[in-house]
């Protein structure tokens, strides 16, 4: 892995900084608190997202609500870019997962979810948080940490990094499995099925023998049951036939009763119809007699009309109008009579006047006696004529009134009798129709009576043909066969239930035997597994020291190579020895061994640097399959002085070291920075870090 550039926005003292890195030795140089180490913390944050021994408060710039880090790096010839953000919230500061993105070239391969990004980064770089912080990033004052640690603590930490502690864990974990298996084996040895295996076999054989006997008995009983079943079916069939005959006979008797009832009803209905028909005949005759009487009366009144000179064949309305003319004629005659009476009264007054006076009542002229007598005689004659006329008119009026009365009476009778005659004719027609319907019904009932008598005779003949005397005997025979069948079937079910019980018992015993056999086989396997686990534990216990010894040899070679590369040919020869606790010793040319604590400050720093590089190469090889390609150093010049030239020598040594593709060192020493291939200078103005690249 090689970092190309990192961008910081609102990270510590960096408002917006872009820091480019190159291959080889890169040096971040600047004064105390100018934002050098913040860049290394930003790299760690971009890769893993969790603050190192600090909170997010340490990373986010004071007063800012959002921060962001963009890291671009190269791995196996491919370019990657990871972005992470910080966001201030009510409850504190945390990651802004909306900003979390991982790109390969320009393609987004993971985002938003921290686990997905972490998994992708580990797949790409082979690094996890522990490896990066223990091997790749040598933090300030941690360079000599492993050299200064106690041997047992150093061994524990390096065993974990090399993976050797896994053998110890496996050895301890296998002990638990071994105890479990041994406990299981002891439980099987006390298991009642395993202990009583022989008893179970005997019980199983006894049950098998009883099962065989029941099988034979069931076969014999099944045969008998089938024979009895056939006999029962024959008895059922015979009984059913007789019961069918009985049912049919009872049905015929019910039919006979029904026909007899129907015949009785038909006879009663015929008698009733005959009686009603006879009544209708009498009623029709009475109506006809009444009709004849009325028709005779009509003829009599018509004769009267003829006698009065009126044609009786005219419609009733014309006859009515004719009778009304009598009133007009009477009124006319009475008018003439009234006029004659008035004339007579007038003449009487004239006569009286003439008798009293001899003066004309009209012109009032005096009259002679002769003329007066002649006039009075003429008036008297006229009155006599009028009297005769009045008498004749009275006679005519009385005659007209008599004729009118007779005509009105005849007309009223005719008018009254005509609708009654019509009504009688209608009733006669209706009654005649009813009589005809009754006659038809009577004939129908007579025909039905004859049919019912024939049916009754036929049914009685069929009833007499049936013989059901053997029905009770058949029923008794069927009950006897049924009881025998029921007893056999009950006994068979009892045997079958016993058979099922034996099958269940056999299955249970077989299952217990199988389980016991499985337990025995399991116990035998457990014995083998316990032996294998014991052997594996012994192997783990023996292989760990061997592997550690091999790691120590390789580590000694790596450290010696790095140290030789750092010191160069001009430096003093330092031979390294490393024991089983990974503790390094220095062997002089005179073969005298010295502890690290006996070395000078510069020698200890070089040795610590070589030791960390050697460990890094070996651990990366064992864990990822490739060597250490990047190293981050935070103030590696601790305990080194400018006067003795140790800082310059360390920087010179690092610049000559090409086994690591990229080294990024943070320092405040200008002497150290002079040896770097790429110098990145940081300055601080008004609380804001400024970044500039010198070479």
CB 611 within 8 A of CB 568: no
The Cα 6–Cα 444 span in angstroms is 125
pLDDT of amino acid 321 = 67
Q: For the whole model, what pTM was predicted?
A: 0.49
Spatial separation of the C-alpha atoms in residues 132 and 532, rounded to whole Å: 38
Residue with the bigger pLDDT between 544 and 364: it is 544
Residue 46 pLDDT class (50, 70, 90 cuts): very high
pLDDT at residue 570 tops 60: no
Tell me the average pLDDT across 324-339.
74
> 302-424 falls under which CATH superfamily?
Helix hairpin bin (1.10.287.510)
Q: pLDDT tens for residues 374-419?
A: 877 887 787 788 788 878 878 877 777 777 777 777 777 777 877 8
Pairwise CA distance, residues 503 & 153, whole Å: 68
Task: Please tell me whether residue 466 adopts helix, strand or coil conformation.
Answer: coil
pLDDT at 569: 53
Who contacts 70 (Cβ-Cβ below 8 Å, separation ≥6)?
6, 7, 46, 81, 82, 83
Q: How far is C-alpha 287 from the chain's CA centre? A: 87
What is the rounded distance in angstroms from the CA atom of residue 452 to the CA atom of residue 255?
Answer: 11
What pLDDT digit, counting tens, does each position of 617-636 carry?
Answer: 777 777 777 778 898 988 88
Looking up tokens 């009264």, which residue turns up? Answer: 345
Give the 3-state secondary structure of residue 361: coil
The tokens of 424 are what? 């009688």
Q: Where are the domains of the chain?
A: 2-141+599-693, 302-424
Q: What is the mean pLDDT of residues 177-195?
A: 78
pLDDT band, residue 540 (cuts 50/70/90): low
**Residue 571 scores a pLDDT above 80:** no
Interval 207-226 mean pLDDT = 86
CATH superfamily of 2-141+599-693: P-loop containing nucleotide triphosphate hydrolases (3.40.50.300)
Tell me if 555 sits within 8 A of 578, measured CB to CB.
Answer: yes
Would you say residue 566 has pLDDT above 80? no
pLDDT of res. 74: 94
| β-pair partners for 92 | 89
Section 305-310 average pLDDT: 70
333's tokens: 């005659």
118-141 core/surface letters (b: 16 or more CB in 10 A; e: else): bebbbebbbbeeebbbbbbbbbee
pLDDT of residue 150 exceeding 80: yes
The answer on pLDDT for 172 being more than 80 is: no
In the block, residue with structure tokens 């972005």 = 83
Residue 555 CB neighbours (<10 A): 23
C-alpha 196/C-alpha 381 separation (Å) is: 181
**Between residues 324 and 511, which one has the greater pLDDT?**
511
In this predicted structure, what is the pLDDT of residue 589? 63
Other beta carbons within 10 angstroms of residue 616's beta carbon come to 25
Strand residues in 161-274 grouped as ranges (E):
none
So what's the pLDDT on residue 19? 95
**Residue 552 above 90 pLDDT?**
no
């Amino acid at each position: 892995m090689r970092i190309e550039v990192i961008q910081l926005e609102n990270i510590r003292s960096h408002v917006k900084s872009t820091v480019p890195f190159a291959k080889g030795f890169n040096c971040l140089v600047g004064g105390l608190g100018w934002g050098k180490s913040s860049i290394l913390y930003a790299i760690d944050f971009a890769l893993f997202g969790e603050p190192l021994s600090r909170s997010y408060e340490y990373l986010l710039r004071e007063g800012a609500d959002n921060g962001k880090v963009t890291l671009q790096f190269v791995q196996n010839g491919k370019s990657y870019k990871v972005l992470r953000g910080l966001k201030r919230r009510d409850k504190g500061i945390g990651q802004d997962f909306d900003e979390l993105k991982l790109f390969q070239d320009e393609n987004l391969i993971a985002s938003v979810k921290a686990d997905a990004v972490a998994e992708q980064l580990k797949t790409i770089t082979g690094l996890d948080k522990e490896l990066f912080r223990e091997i790749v990033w040598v933090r300030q004052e941690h360079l000599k940490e492993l050299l200064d640690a106690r041997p047992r603590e150093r061994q524990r930490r390096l065993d974990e990094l090399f993976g050797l502690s896994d053998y110890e864990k496996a050895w301890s974990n296998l002990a638990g499995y071994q105890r479990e298996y041994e406990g299981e084996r002891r439980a099987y040895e006390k298991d009642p099925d395993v202990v009583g295996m022989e008893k179970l076999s005997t019980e199983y054989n006894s049950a098998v023998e009883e099962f065989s006997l029941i099988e034979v008995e069931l076969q014999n009983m099944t045969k008998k049951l089938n024979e009895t079943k056939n006999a029962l079916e024959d008895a059922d069939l015979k009984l059913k036939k007789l019961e069918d005959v009985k049912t049919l006979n009872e049905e015929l008797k019910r039919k006979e009763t029904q026909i007899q009832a129907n015949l009785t009803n038909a006879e009663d209905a015929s008698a009733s119809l005959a009686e009603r028909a006879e009544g209708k005949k009498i009623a029709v005759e009475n109506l006809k007699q009444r009709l004849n009487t009325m028709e005779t009366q009509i003829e009599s009144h018509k004769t009267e009309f003829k006698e009065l000179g009126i044609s009786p064949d005219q419609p009733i309305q014309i006859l009515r109008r004719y009778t009304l003319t009598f009133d007009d004629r009477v009124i006319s005659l009475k008018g003439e009579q009234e006029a004659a009476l008035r004339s007579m009264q007038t003449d009487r007054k004239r006569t009286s006047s003439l008798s009293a006076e001899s003066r004309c009542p009209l012109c009032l002229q005096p009259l002679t006696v002769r003329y007066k007598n002649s006039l009075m005689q003429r008036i008297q004659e006229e009155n006599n004529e009028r009297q005769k006329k009045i008498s004749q008119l009275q006679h005519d009026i009385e005659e007209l009134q008599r004729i009118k009365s007779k005509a009105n009476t005849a007309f009223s009778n005719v008018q009254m009798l005509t609708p009654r005659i019509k009504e009688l004719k209608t009733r006669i027609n209706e009654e005649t129709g009813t009589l005809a319907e009754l006659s038809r019904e009577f004939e129908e009932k007579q025909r039905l009576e004859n049919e019912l008598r024939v049916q009754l005779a036929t049914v009685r003949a069929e009833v007499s043909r049936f013989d059901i005397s053997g029905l009770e005997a058949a029923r008794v025979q069927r009950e006897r066969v049924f009881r025998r069948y029921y007893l056999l079937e009950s006994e068979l079910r009892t045997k079958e239930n016993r058979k099922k019980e034996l099958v269940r018992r056999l299955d249970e015993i077989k299952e217990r035997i199988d389980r016991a056999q499985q337990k025995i086989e399991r116990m035998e396997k457990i014995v083998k597994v316990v032996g294998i686990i014991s052997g594996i534990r012994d192997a783990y216990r023996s292989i760990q020291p061997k592997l550690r010894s091999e790691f120590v040899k390789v580590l000694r070679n790596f450290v010696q190579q790095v140290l030789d590369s750092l010191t160069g040919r001009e430096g003093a020869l330092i031979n390294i020895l490393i024991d089983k606790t990974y503790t390094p010793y220095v062997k002089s040319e005179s073969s005298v061994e010295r502890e690290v604590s006996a070395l000078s400050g510069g020698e200890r720093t070089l040795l610590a640097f070589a030791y960390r590089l050697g460990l890094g190469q070996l651990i990366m090889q064992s864990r990822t399959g490739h060597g250490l390609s990047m190293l981050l150093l935070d103030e590696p010049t601790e305990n080194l002085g400018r006067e003795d030239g140790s800082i310059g020598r360390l920087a010179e040594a690092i610049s000559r070291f090409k086994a690591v593709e990229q080294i990024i060192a943070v320092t405040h020493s200008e002497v150290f920075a002079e040896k770097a291939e790429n110098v990145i200078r940081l300055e601080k103005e008004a609380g804001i870090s400024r970044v500039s690249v010198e070479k």
